[in-house]
Amino acid sequence: MINRKKILLGIAEAITLLLAVAFVSPLVLVFINSAKNNQEIILTPLALPDNWMNLVNNVRDIITNPNVGYVQAIFSSLTVTVLSLSLLVVASAMAAWVLVRTKNKISNIIFMMFVGAMVIPFQVVMFPLVKWLSLVQNFLHIPLLRSYTGIVVAYLGFGSSLAVFLFHGFIKGIPLEIEEAAAIDGCSKPRIFFSIILPILKPIVVTVIVLNGIWIWNDYLLPMLVLGKGSPVQTLPLAVSNFAGAFLKRWDLMMTAILMALLPVVVFFISAQKHIIKGMVEGAIKS
């Protein structure tokens, strides 16, 4: 019996190790190829670079390349990510709070609509989304295409379903007596939410920020549809794709640009993983 348990444990560890290698190997390949020139990558993509200083040269070429605008793309990605996450956290937390405290059939139906939206593939609605944004822009003269407004609104819509689901489960564990005591003391609804509920939601807020932040920072398809490659607003994935031309692909600059875009996300994810696990467990189980 003991030997059987050891064998099963060894098999599980071996499978875990293989999965770890499978997930880490693309990142390792990006790292070693970012320190090569274009010819080296084509000839020996799996070998170590001959000169690691090529990484510094590639970074300099990316930053100084006027046709790509990588520095401007970093600013655009930061702007889109910060605005989208700020609105997403506040709006989803408020919506989940109202749905939890309003106990009737309508609130249950609305919550199930949020849950159901999580299983709808983005590819199903991407073209109707662009058409809808175009119609709103034409009739209301609100710049939604090729602008910060449109991409932020799109991320707010697509990210709210998961965020509301997580916030909903977490808020169900907050005693109602806390809010009732604050209301007796004269606190208004907005003050109860921002002064009492939102600080308590810190673990799940971090989870929502990290999960959606990684998606927004690395997303390519939605910015390509809403912004387009010729737009003055270019996120990092769109800027990286500019190194792949119709007849020439600068693999060295592309790998380096991918590495530069990945590093902030990897560092942020590692530093916040404890909060992610805590928020996911406390939010999902209570739902």
Listed range (3-7, 94-98, 116-120, 244-248) with the worst mean pLDDT: 244-248
What pLDDT does residue 49 have?
87
Residues 201-222: tens digit of each pLDDT: 888 898 899 889 889 998 988 9
- What confidence tier does 100 reach under pLDDT thresholds 50, 70, 90? very high
pLDDT value of residue 164: 93
Contacts of 118 by beta carbon, 8 Å cutoff, 6+ apart = 161, 162, 165
For the chain, give the percent of residues with pLDDT over 90.
18
Q: What is the pLDDT of residue 170?
A: 87
Q: Model confidence at 276, in pLDDT bands (50, 70, 90)?
A: low
pLDDT tier at 40, thresholds 50, 70, 90? confident
d(CA 97, CA 129) in angstroms, rounded, equals 28
Instruction: Tell me: pLDDT of 88 over 90.
Output: yes
How far is 157 from 132, CA to CA, in rounded Å?
A: 13
The answer, yes or no, to whether residue 271 has pLDDT greater than 90, is no
**Which CATH number describes the domain made up of 67-286?**
1.10.3720.10
Q: What is the mean pLDDT of residues 92-104?
A: 91
Q: Is the dihedral of CA 49, 51, 52, 57 positive or negative?
A: negative
Domain coordinates in residue numbering, the chain: 67-286
Q: Which has more confidence, 250 or 89?
A: 89
pLDDT digits (tens, 9 = 90+) for 144-200: 888 899 899 999 989 999 999 989 988 988 888 888 888 888 888 889 999 999 999
pLDDT band at 245 (very low <50, low <70, confident <90, very high): low
At residue 95, the pLDDT reads 93
Strand, coil or helix: 233: coil
pLDDT in tens, 109-147: 999 999 888 888 888 888 888 888 888 888 888 888 888
CA atoms within 13 A on the CB side of 251: 15
87 pLDDT higher than 90: yes
Average pLDDT, the chain: 85
DSSP 8-state class, residue 227? T
> Are the C-beta atoms of 93 and 198 separated by less than 8 Å?
yes
Judge if pTM exceeds 0.85: no
